Structure 1
């Protein structure tokens, strides 16, 4: 594949994880108001995984992988989807979709800190500024009176924090792990195995399952969009980018997702956007500049190779 073709693919992949993923907060919020969270996530990922396998067969893409690759896709699926996404859906029962996306925008900072703690990588001066801005932004976000006054909101915030840790560790794991070379197949295995894990989690929590035909039209549409665009297209793009660029650069999608999520939540669900949330979002978004300086990225790229 030529350099120009690769550049176009990278741009399109970033569009998918920036914009499409930003809309999934709204879609999950709509669906979780009617469906059980782990059941919702299980249906989404199991269906997406099966569809990917069918499409791969039609396109003549081999599905065979090694035992090591299978175990790695299971681990990645659990870190990213079973816990990293499934528990976020659960948390959306307690917090607004825009707020959840804003909190998760601190994920690049978590990745930098994990690289320091687990891999001994020194955080560069410009990235330190990004970390400081992120901490200030998150503090402004979670310290709002209307949030700390609600016990359920605090529960949701804590749950999302652990999801961020899981997703950040997953990003570092995938960057080095032996996974299927085909990103489509890689996504399919992660989706399917995560869907099965989520089904077991749903049963363990005693959730009540319901048939798709009994869901409202809005929930049915949300699920279709989550499966086709949020799962198959965006997650395949995500897996591609984790190999094409550095992990913390991929994580910058969490700076754009909140803006998309805030606007959609405000427009469709009448979620409140406070002045403090706007200030927090501005500070968090500013941090991406300092994390993505050429000098910082060059260091991470050398480490990645």
Structure 2
């Protein structure tokens, strides 16, 4: 693959995890108002996994993997989809879609800290600035009285934080693990394994299942979009990026997703968007700039070196 082709794919992949994933908060919020959360997430990922393997078969892709790769995809499926996503869907019963996305925007901080603790990787100064801005933005969001006083919001916030840690660790795990070489096939195995974990959770908690024909039209549409775009397209892009871009850069999707989720939740669900929420969104986007811009890091490093020589 040429360098220009690889760059194009990276740009398209970032578009997927930024924009498409940003819309999944709205879609999950719509569906979870009618469907039990673990049933919803289970059907989404199992359907997406089956779809991936059908397409792989049609494209004549090799779907046979090693035992080690299978184990790794099962672990990744649990970290990303069962715990990292399924519990977020559950939490959406208690918090707005835009709020959930904004809270998860603190994920890059967790990724950087885990990389420092587990891998001993030095945190770049400008990345720290970007993460700090992200944390400030999240604080502005969660400190609002109308959010804190909402029934069940505290429990929802705690569970979303657990999901965020799981997803962050999963990002580091996948970046270093032996996984299927084909990113599409890799997505299929993770989707199926994550869906099975969520199916078990649904049965354990005694959720009531229903056929898609009994769902409202908006719920059916939301599920289709979640399966095709939110799962197959965006998650394949995510797995692709983890092999070519550092985990903390991939994690910046959690800064852009809230902006998309906030706007969509406001437009389609009449979710309240305060001036403080808008300020938080602006600060979060600024954080993306600092974390993602290598040029700024180089300038900062040169400035630091000059100060060091003068002292």
Structure 1 residue 132 displacement after superposition:
2.0
| Separation (CA, whole Å) in 2 of partners of 1:256 and 1:290 | 13
Match for residue 95 of structure 1? 95
Matched, 1:122 2:122: yes
**Where do 5+ consecutive residues of structure 2 fail to align?**
299-311
Is the CA contact 2:22–2:258 (under 8 Å) kept in the aligned structure 1? yes
Matched, 1:217 2:217: yes
Is the CA contact 1:105–1:254 (under 8 Å) kept in the aligned structure 2? yes
| Separation (CA, whole Å) in 2 of partners of 1:174 and 1:296 | 28
The two structures, once aligned, show a CA RMSD in angstroms of: 1.3
Note the alpha carbon deviations across 1:188-237, whole angstroms, 9 max, x for none: 00000111110001111111111111001000000000000100011001
Q: Which moved more, 1:127-136 or 1:266-275?
A: 127-136
| Separation (CA, whole Å) in 1 of partners of 2:151 and 2:118 | 33
Matched, 1:277 2:285: no
| Separation (CA, whole Å) in 1 of partners of 2:190 and 2:282 | 34
Match for residue 290 of structure 1? 290
Match for residue 180 of structure 1? 180
Match for residue 147 of structure 2? 147
Matched, 1:135 2:135: yes
Alignment of 1:1-305 (within 5 A): 1-294=1-294
Match for residue 302 of structure 2? none
Give the alignment's TM-score, normalised by structure 1: 0.95
Moved over 4 A (4+): 295-298
The SS at the match of 1:206 is: coil
Q: Which has the larger radius of gyration?
A: 2
Q: Which moved more, 1:27-36 or 1:15-24?
A: 15-24
Classify 1:240/1:297 alpha carbon distance in 2 versus 1 (closer, same or farther; 3 Å).
farther
Is the CA contact 1:187–1:235 (under 8 Å) kept in the aligned structure 2? yes
| Separation (CA, whole Å) in 2 of partners of 1:120 and 1:193 | 31
Give the alignment's TM-score, normalised by structure 2: 0.93
Match for residue 308 of structure 2? none
Structure 1 residue 183 displacement after superposition:
0.2
| Separation (CA, whole Å) in 1 of partners of 2:3 and 2:122 | 31
Match for residue 303 of structure 1? none
| Separation (CA, whole Å) in 2 of partners of 1:105 and 1:243 | 22
**Where do 5+ consecutive residues of structure 1 fail to align?**
299-305
Match for residue 302 of structure 1? none
